[in-house]
Chains A and B, each alone.
Chain A
């Protein structure tokens, strides 16, 4: 793989954290609680384990072929045409993800903050920002996202800490009012979004300077654990503050921030969660778009990957303009179909390539 650009292992870890947390800390708690009720936090922990397994598989594959990109590995392992099929499968999901992130931002802004503003205004601003980020490349993105990630994390922490007086531990029980099945249902959802999506990050991992290094592996595992802890704490906070009405509230972290009232001086701080949602979504959308751009560039052997930045962003924006017929149809797609789609487009190809690579490994090592 020609490495024109490269990033350090800490930057890679921050990118993964931004990619995983992005919009999920605001979007995920409500549907998981709807599915799994009081055991939603357990669902998240279960799917986090699944995320760790996926990460181990990716790192194993990249350790076998340390000098190749993900598409390069597929080509070496399964051949040219099967690689095209794998890439096309991954692209269907990646395009759906990128446009979905933008649709989520528009839905959030229209329902919570600026109901009168047309959706295409937010889309246009996201389009300009993500196109500029794609043009600057992965190094600048990593540098910029480090600051944004810290800001988003601090905003999240502020809200969680300020909510402490409102927590009611009684709301946490019973943990399994309907048995274990709803917990597994919640895990099904979160295994697709955000943990199954780690597979797309395999396209970005080869940009790391020393892919085989132990600190990289350790920091990526730490990032998944931290993300899991954040999602679990957010879900627990939602249950402890909102209790039985937690399932009715979309964007629960935003609703939680609305309830904060410390004396008469600290209230109405939900705007910082709004900012976190926008910043997180922008980071996730940009990383997803960068992965799409890398896949297409490597698939067609293009010299200048920045050439595709604008048409790619344009395509995703127009896809998000034309896609959802109704919000109900969109929610059905995200809550019901998305996890299975992730399984077929991301996880199955990854497992297939890894199994073939494992069997091919001795033949590859023999001449050396």
Chain B
């Protein structure tokens, strides 16, 4: 937990420290986009930190595409394999 927290703190410090001045001068759209990306990263950070396995892109893809993709594989797979 402490290791993960340290890693995340280092990542966030690296990313945001160099952007402060730029962010102040940014347009409203720019600030919103920046914050939206940070919010998304916070979601995944919490998932990583607490190991809660929240839904993510892969989860979504697996739920929607696993069966049709598996059907394609089974159709094309050699019979004896």
Contact = CB atoms under 8 A, between A and B. Distances in A.
A303 B78 contact: no
B44 A336 contact: no
Interface in B34-55: 34, 37-38, 40-41, 44-45, 47-48, 53
Interface string A302-317: 1110111011111101
B11 A307 contact: no
B81 A314 contact: no
A340 B14 contact: no
Chain A interface mostly = helix
Contacts of B53: 325
Contacts, number: 133
B44 to A, nearest CB: 4
A122 to B, nearest CB: 12
Most chain A beta carbons < 10 A, residue from B22, B75, B76, B77: B76
A315 B37 contact: yes
A167 B40 CA distance: 50
22 contacts: A96-B58, A118-B3, A124-B7, A127-B11, A178-B80, A179-B78, A182-B77, A185-B76, A185-B77, A302-B30, A307-B19, A307-B26, A308-B37, A310-B16, A311-B37, A313-B15, A314-B14, A314-B37, A315-B40, A317-B11, A318-B45, A337-B61
Interface of B: 3, 7-8, 10-12, 14-16, 18-19, 22-23, 26-27, 29-30, 32-34, 37-38, 40-41, 44-45, 47-48, 53, 56-58, 60-62, 65-66, 68-70, 72-73, 75-81
In order of increasing CB-CB distance, the 10 nearest A-B pairs are A178-B78, A311-B37, A185-B76, A322-B48, A314-B15, A310-B15, A315-B41, A340-B69, A318-B44, A322-B47
Given A307-B30, A308-B37, A315-B40, 11 more contacts: A96-B58, A118-B3, A178-B81, A300-B29, A307-B26, A310-B19, A318-B44, A319-B56, A333-B61, A337-B69, A340-B65
